[in-house]
Amino acid sequence: MQNLSGLKIREIHITPIAIVDPPLLNAAGLHAPYALRTIIELITDDNISGISEIPGNVEINSALESAGDLIEGKDVFHLNNIRQALDNYFGKESVSKRGETPWDQRKLVHVFSAIEVACLDIIGKAVGRSVVDLLGGKMRDRVPFAAYLFYKHEGAGGKLEFKKEKGVKGWPAARQKQALDPEGIVGQAHAMCEAFGFQSIKLKGGVFEPQKEVDSVLALREAFGPDIPLRFDPNAVWKVETAIQYSKQMEHALEYLEDPVRGQENMAKVRKKLSIPLATNMCTTSFEDIPSSISTGSEDIILSDHHFWGGLRNSMELSRVCETFGRDLSMHSNSHLGISLAAMVHLGAALPHLPYALDTHYPWQSDEVIKGGRLQFEEGSVKVPQGPGLGVELDRESVKLLHQNYLDCGLTERDDQKEMQKIEPGWKFKATRW
């Protein structure tokens, strides 16, 4: 076994990358041809390398650079001390910094998640155990995910944007197809479920007027029958009355409804009027939000995301909080690659209760930064990666190429409104639209 006294961080490498992402529509606008991720590698005195992946942008990357100076020389086991050093330096990051977009814009949660996951990867390698064991051990061998459907324009993103790639079949072909109506969504669902074996389906909404999106949910229900659980997520752009009126039509069809409205109080109002559970990754997004979540009764299910909750151990703690207060816990996602997926799978395997299939954007991506290529889904589930730590290794050549993509594409942050304006000039994000 490794000499455990020498696990001090010697180097931190921060590599922004740009990965091909299709033109997916959501309440904030349109996905750009590339999504930005950042790959973090920590190296110890003893040359053990630990890796992680987070959503990237220039602000987060520069915060990571500062964090790198603070954690140099620190022991990878001393995560509490690392956290404190970051808190002292950056100050407390209030939950209001989350922003109105469907994704979390706080910096510190990303930074700590990046460092924590890489430290856990190192610890796992040093002690010869997997990250799931560091989180308390496996409760299951495979972690189920849901098909994540999007309204989308034609194209698969990157250089292929708006051009059809010839000769592709199956999901790669379906991935390029336009889907702007219930028929397109049902076609996308069939292709995705066939390719990956998903047994639950989520539709991202908040794009078109409510009835059109309700019709897509009802068309999915009609096509897949009552045994395939369905969820729908308009990312909080509905008013309370709209949410109550339109969700009533879907009550028989949905296993849960995600963020129909903005804010805990509005969520609580809607929740009182519906017979289906409400889930959120927008109104209860940090431990700071828990007291008001309980007093208002804003949701039934918290969709955790280790990138936004400050890491895997925080997400485990969240699961205990959820159990205490009668919430279920499931998982949120954003466009990502295999390091994030591996971390999600370790966490999903360790959670005591996993009542719902987790979200993942992974089928929409085609790039990869881990050796051996993309992780595989079997009947919609991913097996916990074998081997110590995260069980995945960096493919340095791919990281190099994707870093070049980052430099070439010129994007520095996610801005779905700007992308949408290229298609619909003057289009503006509205926190509440219908």
Stretch that binds Mg ion, among 24-32, 88-96, 281-289, 382-390 (CB under 5 A): 281-289
Please list the residues that pair with 231 across neighbouring strands. Answer: 202, 256
Q: Out of 31, 74, 204, 306, which one is annotated catalytic?
A: 204
DSSP codes of every residue in 44-105? ETT--EEEEEEE--HHHHHHHHHHHHHHTT-BTT-HHHHHHHHHHHH----GGGG-SSSS--
Stretch that binds ligand GKR, among 109-117, 122-130, 327-335, 393-401 (CB under 6 A): 327-335
Question: Catalytic: 430?
Answer: no
Stretch that binds ligand GKR, among 168-176, 214-222, 329-337, 368-376 (CB under 6 A): 329-337
Shorter beta-carbon distance to ligand GKR: residue 281 or 284:
281
Q: Two tokens at 116? A: 């924590």
For residues 143 and 344, is the Cβ–Cβ distance under 8 A?
A: yes
Q: Which H or E element spans position 41?
A: strand 34-44
Q: Two tokens at 276? A: 């289906």
Q: Out of 31, 107, 110, 332, which one is annotated catalytic?
A: 332
Please give the biggest Cα pair distance in the chain.
62
Stretch that binds ligand GKR, among 111-119, 134-142, 333-341, 405-413 (CB under 6 A): 333-341
For residues 427 and 417, is the Cβ–Cβ distance under 8 A?
A: yes
Shorter beta-carbon distance to ligand GKR: residue 210 or 388:
210
For ligand GKR, the binding residues in 101-120 under the rule CB under 6 A are 102-103
Shorter beta-carbon distance to ligand GKR: residue 188 or 333:
333
CA distance 262 to 277: 16
Count of chain residues binding ligand GKR (CB under 6 A): 13
User: Should residue 199 be labelled a site residue for Mg ion when binding is judged by CB under 5 A?
Assistant: no
Comparing every residue's Cβ against ligand GKR, the nearest one is 26
Question: CA 392 → CA 85, 111, 238, 358, distances in Å?
Answer: 28, 21, 40, 20
For residues 325 and 284, is the Cβ–Cβ distance under 8 A?
A: no
Shorter beta-carbon distance to Mg ion: residue 256 or 377:
256
Shorter beta-carbon distance to ligand GKR: residue 2 or 412:
412
Binding characters for ligand GKR, 230-249, by CB under 6 A (x = yes)? ---x-x--------------
In the set 247, 304, 334, 360, which binds ligand GKR (CB under 6 A)? 334
> Residue 273: helix, strand or coil by DSSP?
helix
Which phi and psi angles does 272 have, rounded to 5°?
A: -65, -25
Please list the residues that pair with 8 across neighbouring strands. Answer: 75
* Pick from 142, 354, 305, 179: nearest CA to 190: 179
* Dihedral-angle region of residue 124 (phi above 0 means left; psi in -120 to 50 means alpha; beta otherwise): alpha
For Mg ion, the binding residues in 228-247 under the rule CB under 5 A are 233
In the set 262, 332, 336, 433, which binds ligand GKR (CB under 6 A)? 332
Q: Two tokens at 30? A: 């349109």
User: Should residue 258 be labelled a site residue for Mg ion when binding is judged by CB under 5 A?
Assistant: yes
- Chain position carrying tokens 């009835």: 211
**Distance between alpha carbon 140 and the CA centroid of its chain, in Å?**
21
Shorter beta-carbon distance to Mg ion: residue 258 or 300:
258
- By a kind-dependent CB cut-off of 5 to 8 A, residue 121 interacts, out of ligand GKR, Mg ion, none, with none
User: Should residue 340 be labelled a site residue for ligand GKR when binding is judged by CB under 6 A?
Assistant: no
For ligand GKR, the binding residues in 274-303 under the rule CB under 6 A are 281
CA distance 380 to 228: 12
Question: Catalytic: 204?
Answer: yes
In the set 52, 188, 200, 281, which binds Mg ion (CB under 5 A)? 281
Q: How near is the Cβ of 361 to ligand GKR at its closest, in Å?
A: 6
Q: Two tokens at 129? A: 């155990």
> Residue 10: helix, strand or coil by DSSP?
strand
Q: How near is the Cβ of 82 to Mg ion at its closest, in Å?
A: 29
Shorter beta-carbon distance to ligand GKR: residue 41 or 238:
238
Count of chain residues binding Mg ion (CB under 5 A): 3
Q: In this structure, how many other beta carbons lie within 10 angstroms of the beta carbon of residue 144? A: 19
User: Should residue 53 be labelled a site residue for Mg ion when binding is judged by CB under 5 A?
Assistant: no
* Pick from 17, 23, 424: nearest CA to 204: 23
User: Should residue 116 be labelled a site residue for Mg ion when binding is judged by CB under 5 A?
Assistant: no
- By a kind-dependent CB cut-off of 5 to 8 A, residue 182 interacts, out of Mg ion, ligand GKR, none, with none
Binding site for ligand GKR (CB under 6 A): 24, 26, 102-103, 204, 233, 235, 281, 332-335, 361
Binding site for Mg ion (CB under 5 A): 233, 258, 281
Active site residues: 204, 332
